[in-house]
């Protein structure tokens, strides 16, 4: 399972927990509110695990590609700016 999917599953679970918690709070059911809060925390943890896993497995490549892409974009930008002076 890709890291994006893991993080997305965490987001969906957290959103469901938030919906459940808000519903429980709105109708005055403490058990529903607490259950939604716990489900939201579980979703947050799953999303965080997905982010950390992605950082560990592909962090160096992402940093290297991001750096080289940034240098490339800045180089093209400044060459166009200096050409129009």
Which of 60, 40, 74, 31 is closest to 82 using CA atoms?
74
Q: Please name the helix (run of DSSP H) or strand (run of DSSP E) that holds residue 22, with its range, or none.
A: helix 3-27
- For residue 85, what pLDDT is reported? 59
Per-10-residue mean pLDDT for the chain, 85 residues long?
81 92 90 92 89 81 79 85 70
- For residue 53, what pLDDT is reported? 84
C-beta of residue 41 within 8 angstroms of C-beta of residue 17 = yes
- For residue 82, what pLDDT is reported? 75
Per-domain residue ranges of the chain: 3-83
End-to-end CA distance of the chain: 51
Predicted TM-score of the model (pTM): 0.64
């Amino acid at each position: 399972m890709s890291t994006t999917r893991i993080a997305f599953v965490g987001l969906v679970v957290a959103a469901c927990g938030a919906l459940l918690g808000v519903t429980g709070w709105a109708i005055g059911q403490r058990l529903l509110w607490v259950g939604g809060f716990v489900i939201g925390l579980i979703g947050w943890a799953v999303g965080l695990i997905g982010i950390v896993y992605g950082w560990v497995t592909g962090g160096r490549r992402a940093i290297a590609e991001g750096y080289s892409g940034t240098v490339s974009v800045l180089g093209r930008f400044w060459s166009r700016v200096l050409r129009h002076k």
